[in-house]
Structure 1
């Protein structure tokens, strides 16, 4: 028995999969589920199993009802937990602070520590914890494992994790670089060595997780040494709706001159900035269509995005000293050949040679650099659910 139920609990949604991590990514999950509009009068549940789709619309006041209804819908259609044995439940948790550097078996003590970290991720950790509580209550005999987005980056050296602010203030309020998307970065960094035919301990790589949220990491010998996101997921690369790096003085300026509150500035930088803030939309298919039509705002937004991406690639090349591989993943990274080509354009002097035809190919893990390129460039689909399932199973068998 090696099936794992992977839960990703949001404030108004619950995503889950049942998969066998021993079967590999090519097999895919047995069940994919989504419970959405939790807390509204009409919630919605969608399940997919063996090519079939099952739906239910009902009032879903909370996560307990949502998960209960989803499991009942599975049972009614012959693929419930009485038919699929579960070895573990893996939970995505956004923030583990400095407390959790790896997957953690969940008990009451661990859950209490997670609650203490809520101030570091007030929009995410409460929902993650709610999902754990519901699942533990419903599946008390199954071991539960928490996997943290920040965990992979706890290996960063102090000079990469430390902000140059007053030490006493930083220590008191836990101000430091934590990094996010760690499950994806770790998954990709574990897949690439096999593509190179080398052990992970011998590989230096740059991982570019480019979705609506975007982050970069420098990984030496399987350990993260730097990442673009910071104390929050706001820092680093330009993203769909987030600004990425800006001068902290912008916050003071908007407060003093525009009279904006902290919450208004928070909303501006997290939800009304980035590519969308620059040109009005954040879907890269729309972005390219508008660029082709001569939209100056879209063109500038794209150039700003690429400029910041190249800035981090260059910085990590220097930090690593030797780069064996650069890998693109997530929605934009896996599907946008324009972004990949422009991000690495004219870097032949640094040993990076992109093959234009390979770069246009879609689907699956693939090499997009030339065979002679000293630095290999890959596209590797991320699979955070599979990574969580692997971590969970590793702690219980």
Structure 2
């Protein structure tokens, strides 16, 4: 079972880059998505919580940890996700840049006298929250640090999440629920509050008390009056693996007659 399997059948408009068609086909240059096990796990748990929503309805899942990704899922079918050809694309992460103009890579090669591999190393391992703050890759630690660099790093982190949330609401044609998972998503109320700030127009609002209390436990954190349900749900990737293994074994038995 691959970590990209949940996103194996993304719509073509979400999986392809606007490159010459032959490059995508011949070289396999496309958007694969990652954290699939985590996103599928959150979706399955959500479906169990809200059986009245057909296959979970229109759901946005966020896996926020050292690596970060967000996915739009419509009745069990992933329509888009933030990570692409590699885990570098998308949200700002602990040490990764997330979305970046590709022209920056050759520019840094020239300006800093680096090889292409060295630039990729920089973008993956010394950028993101750690690079912007200059000190720390942990959102929880940065939130408690009053320095302008630390506060800006968190602001940028939450802004990118909020930007993707708005985009995925458009992709889904609305939203029934938002789920936070991963070490940061489950344990850092300040990040959840920052990510959802200003989304009341879309029917998204947190209950401050519930949000502050939710630290590692599956729970509802959305305000009672909000039309979009918001939850913290821990991912259970092992159960997804077990389910996939059982389905594969059953399919093999069926094929054998």
Q: Same fold by TM (over 0.5)?
A: yes
Whether the 8 Å CA contact 2:7–2:78 is kept in 1: the answer is yes
Residue 144 of structure 2 is aligned to residue 285 of structure 1: no
* Greater relative contact order (Cα < 8 A, sep 6+): 2
- Name the structure 2 match of 1:375: 228
More strand by share: 1
User: Take 1:202 and 1:378, find their aligned partners in 2: how far apart are those partners?
Assistant: 13
Whether the 8 Å CA contact 1:323–1:375 is kept in 2: the answer is yes
Whether the 8 Å CA contact 2:129–2:137 is kept in 1: the answer is yes
Residue 160 of structure 2 is aligned to residue 343 of structure 1: no
- Name the structure 1 match of 2:125: 271
- Name the structure 2 match of 1:209: 63
Residue 7 of structure 2 is aligned to residue 178 of structure 1: no
Whether the 8 Å CA contact 2:162–2:195 is kept in 1: the answer is yes
* Unmatched 5+ stretches in structure 1: 1-146
User: Take 1:236 and 1:250, find their aligned partners in 2: how far apart are those partners?
Assistant: 16
| TM-score normalised to structure 2 length | 0.93
3-state DSSP class of the match of 2:144?
Answer: helix
User: Take 1:298 and 1:310, find their aligned partners in 2: how far apart are those partners?
Assistant: 19
3-state DSSP class of the match of 1:148?
Answer: coil
Whether the 8 Å CA contact 2:210–2:221 is kept in 1: the answer is yes
Segments ≥4 residues shifted beyond 6 Å: none
Note the C-alpha offset of 1:202: 5.4
Whether the 8 Å CA contact 2:46–2:56 is kept in 1: the answer is no
The 1:202–1:181 alpha-carbon spacing in structure 2 relative to 1, beyond 3 Å, is: closer
User: Take 2:75 and 2:140, find their aligned partners in 1: how far apart are those partners?
Assistant: 36
Whether the 8 Å CA contact 2:180–2:233 is kept in 1: the answer is yes
Whether the 8 Å CA contact 2:176–2:228 is kept in 1: the answer is yes
Which structure: larger Rg?
1
* Unmatched 5+ stretches in structure 2: 251-257
Note the C-alpha offset of 1:148: 0.8
Whether the 8 Å CA contact 1:150–1:179 is kept in 2: the answer is yes
User: Take 2:247 and 2:22, find their aligned partners in 1: how far apart are those partners?
Assistant: 38
- Name the structure 2 match of 1:323: 175
| TM-score normalised to structure 1 length | 0.61
Note the C-alpha offset of 1:252: 1.3
Residue 51 of structure 2 is aligned to residue 236 of structure 1: no
Whether the 8 Å CA contact 1:275–1:281 is kept in 2: the answer is yes
CA deviations over 1:280-328 (Å, ceiling 9, x no partner): 21122321221xxx21110111111011111100100111012000000
More helix by share: 2
- Name the structure 1 match of 2:240: 387
User: Take 1:326 and 1:271, find their aligned partners in 2: how far apart are those partners?
Assistant: 29
3-state DSSP class of the match of 1:243?
Answer: coil
The 1:289–1:202 alpha-carbon spacing in structure 2 relative to 1, beyond 3 Å, is: closer
Note the C-alpha offset of 1:200: 4.3
- Name the structure 1 match of 2:17: 163
3-state DSSP class of the match of 1:155?
Answer: coil
Farther off after superposition, 219-228 or 384-393: 384-393
The 1:373–1:204 alpha-carbon spacing in structure 2 relative to 1, beyond 3 Å, is: same
Note the C-alpha offset of 1:367: 0.6
Residue 210 of structure 2 is aligned to residue 358 of structure 1: yes
The 1:367–1:202 alpha-carbon spacing in structure 2 relative to 1, beyond 3 Å, is: closer
